[in-house]
Amino acid sequence: MTEIEHILRLFAEVERRQNPLEEAQKALNGLEEAQRAQDPLKTTQRALGTLEDAQRNNPLEEAQRTLEALEKAQGVQNPLEAARRALKSLEEVNRLVEDAWASIESAQTLAELEQLRIEYLGRSAALTEMKKSIRELPVELRPQIGGAANRASRSIEAILEARGAELTAVEREERLRAEAVDVTLPGTPYPKGSLHPSQRVIDELVDFFVGLGYRVAEGPEVETDYYNFTALSIPPGHPARGMQDTFFLDEGLVLRTHTSPVQVRTMLSQEPPVYIVCPGRVYRRDSDPTHTPMFNQVEGLAVDRGLTMGHLKGTLTAMARHVFGEAVRLRLRPSYFQFTEPSVEMDVSCFVCDGEDPNCKVCKGAGWLEMGGAGMVDPAVFEEVGYDPEEYTGFAFGMGPDRMAMVKYDIPDLRLFFEGDLRFLRQF
C-alpha cells in the first residue's frame, strides 16, 4: 500500500500547514476559476503534471502546489473533507481486508461463505459503498483509492475462492460419503444369450480355413441319391450305404448323410483349383447314447496341381493347433473311405494330458483324440466330376464339430447338443 502511505504523507504535509481551511478555500476558488476557464481538462492535466513534479522535487512545496491545483481543478465544496474521507476509506479498506480474511478463514460452510461474500463484496458492502463514493473524490486520488479498493476486492475474492474450494471439497466429500451404495449388490442385468457349442467350433474351423484362403461352400440338406452316394463312388448296393443308416424321402431323395455332396456339387460347378470348407448339419438313422440322428460336420476339399498327403497333414496339424492349442500333435492312421485313396483317420494328441495321465477325463488315458477321416481324393471321384486325375491331385477331410466341442468343453453326452436344455445351452 505504498500509494496510501504516499498520499497519507502528502496529507500530513498539507495538514501541518497553519490554515488549512483557508488554503482549501483558496483551492476551491481556484477550482471554480478553472471551471470557468472552460478548460478544466487541461488544467487537470497540468495539475497532474505538477503533482508528478512535486513528487520528484520538494514534497512539501509540491504538495502545496498540488493542493492548489486540486482546489483549482475540482469543483467540490470541501476537498479536504473529501480527502479526509478518502484517507479514512483507505484505512477502512485495510481494516476490511484484514477483517474479511479472518472471517473467511474461519467460515465453515459454503452458505456461511456466501454470507461473507455478500457482507464484504455485496451491493451494500462497505467496500462497494466506497467504490461508489470514489466519484466524489478528487480526480487525482481516484486511481489510487480505486486501485486500492479493487485490489482489496480481488484479494477478498481470492481468499473467498480459495476457502470456497476448500469447503466445496469438504462438502463434496461429505456428499459422496452419503451417496455410497452397496457395491456388492448385483448390477443391472444386460441380456446375455449364448451360441451353440457346435457352432462355436464350426465358427473357429471356418475362420481357420478362411484364413488359409478357403471358401465356404454349402448345399441342400435334402440331397439326391446321386450326390450323396453314387458320385462319391458309393453305387447302389454298395455295403458302405448300409453303414450310413440313411433317412429316405421320396425315391432317390435322402437326408444327406455327410456334407460330401457339397464337394461334388462344387467340383461339378467349377474348375480347379478348389479350396473349400463345407460345414453343415447331416443326418443318420441312429440314436443311442453316442449317436444322434442329426449332427454337424465340417468337411474340406483342396484340389490343385501337386497336392500331396504332406499338404493334408500340414493343413490338419495347423487346424488342430488352431482349435486345441499350439502344443498338440497330429497322427494319421490308415483307414477306408469310398471317396479317398489313400484314406486316413486323424488323431490329435490329448490337449489336456498329452498322454501322460492314464486317468485323463478327456482322452480316457489313450493320449489321442479321434478327430475324423481324411485322404487323397479318389481318382474315380475326379473322373466323375470331369477333372483329370493325372493333372490334379487333392485331399479331403471331415470332422465332427460336435465331438470336438465335447472334448474342448468337457461335455459328457452328445445328446445334450440337440435337446435345447437351457441349463446346457446357457453355458456357452
CB closer to other proteins out of 64 and 259: 259
208 binds other proteins (CB under 8 A): no
Interface pick for other proteins out of 8, 167, 253, 353 (rule CB under 8 A): 253
127, 96 in Cβ contact below 8 A? yes
The rounded radius of gyration (Å) of the Cα atoms in the chain is 51
Q: Which three cell numbers stand for residue 356?
A: 501322460
Torsion sign, CA atoms 98, 101, 106, 111: positive
Residues 6+ apart with CB under 8 A from 300: 209, 214, 276, 277, 278, 315, 396, 397, 398
Q: Which three cell numbers stand for residue 389?
A: 486325375
Give the pairing type, strands 253-255 and 222-224: antiparallel
Interface pick for other proteins out of 224, 357, 360, 362 (rule CB under 8 A): 224
The CB-of-178 to other proteins minimum distance in angstroms stands at 19
Interface pick for other proteins out of 120, 209, 324, 351 (rule CB under 8 A): 209
Site string for other proteins, 102-131 (x = CB under 8 A): ------------------------------
CB closer to other proteins out of 123 and 423: 423
Interface pick for other proteins out of 275, 324, 339, 397 (rule CB under 8 A): 275
The CB-of-176 to other proteins minimum distance in angstroms stands at 20
Interface pick for other proteins out of 216, 325, 358, 361 (rule CB under 8 A): 216
Site string for other proteins, 74-103 (x = CB under 8 A): ------------------------------
CB closer to other proteins out of 120 and 208: 208
Distance, in Å, from the CA atom of 210 to the CA atom of 374, rounded to the nearest integer, reads 19
The CA-atom distances, in angstroms, between 184 and each of 79, 162, 181 are 76, 38, 9
The CB-of-175 to other proteins minimum distance in angstroms stands at 22
Interface pick for other proteins out of 28, 307, 406, 407 (rule CB under 8 A): 307
The backbone torsions φ and ψ at residue 349, rounded to the nearest 5 degrees and listed phi first, read: -60, 145
The CB-of-181 to other proteins minimum distance in angstroms stands at 11
| Backbone angle region of 144, left / alpha / beta, with phi > 0 → left and psi within -120 to 50 → alpha | alpha
Q: Which three cell numbers stand for residue 44?
A: 487537470
CB closer to other proteins out of 70 and 330: 330
231 binds other proteins (CB under 8 A): yes
The amino acid at residue 229 is F
189 binds other proteins (CB under 8 A): yes
> Which of the residues 319 through 348 are near other proteins (CB under 8 A)?
330-336, 341-345
The CB-of-131 to other proteins minimum distance in angstroms stands at 40
Size of the site for other proteins (CB under 8 A): 94
**Three-state DSSP class for residue 224:** strand
271 binds other proteins (CB under 8 A): no
Partners of 283 in the β-ladder: 294
Interface pick for other proteins out of 29, 45, 109, 308 (rule CB under 8 A): 308
Q: Which three cell numbers stand for residue 126?
A: 462497505
Interface pick for other proteins out of 7, 127, 152, 255 (rule CB under 8 A): 255
The amino acid at residue 69 is A
How buried is residue 395: exposed, middle or buried, by Cβ count under 10 Å (0-12/13-18/19+)? buried
> Contact region for other proteins (CB under 8 A) — 13-21, 22-30, 78-86, 416-424?
416-424
- Write out the DSSP string of 125-158: SHHHHHHHHGGGS-TTTHHHHHHHHHHHHHHHHH
The CB-of-252 to other proteins minimum distance in angstroms stands at 3
CA torsion 134-138-140-142 (nearest 10°) is 0
Q: Which three cell numbers stand for residue 345?
A: 483317420
Distance, in Å, from the CA atom of 67 to the CA atom of 22, rounded to the nearest integer, reads 12
Interface pick for other proteins out of 59, 220, 355, 365 (rule CB under 8 A): 220
Query: Closest by alpha carbon to 27, among 67, 63, 81, 76?
Result: 67
Interface pick for other proteins out of 169, 243, 364, 409 (rule CB under 8 A): 243
249 binds other proteins (CB under 8 A): yes
The CB-of-399 to other proteins minimum distance in angstroms stands at 17
> Which of the residues 343 through 402 are near other proteins (CB under 8 A)?
343-345, 376, 378-379, 393
Q: Which helix (H) or strand (E) holds 389?
A: none
Q: Which three cell numbers stand for residue 196?
A: 451353440
> Which of the residues 147 through 186 are near other proteins (CB under 8 A)?
185-186
CB closer to other proteins out of 208 and 351: 208
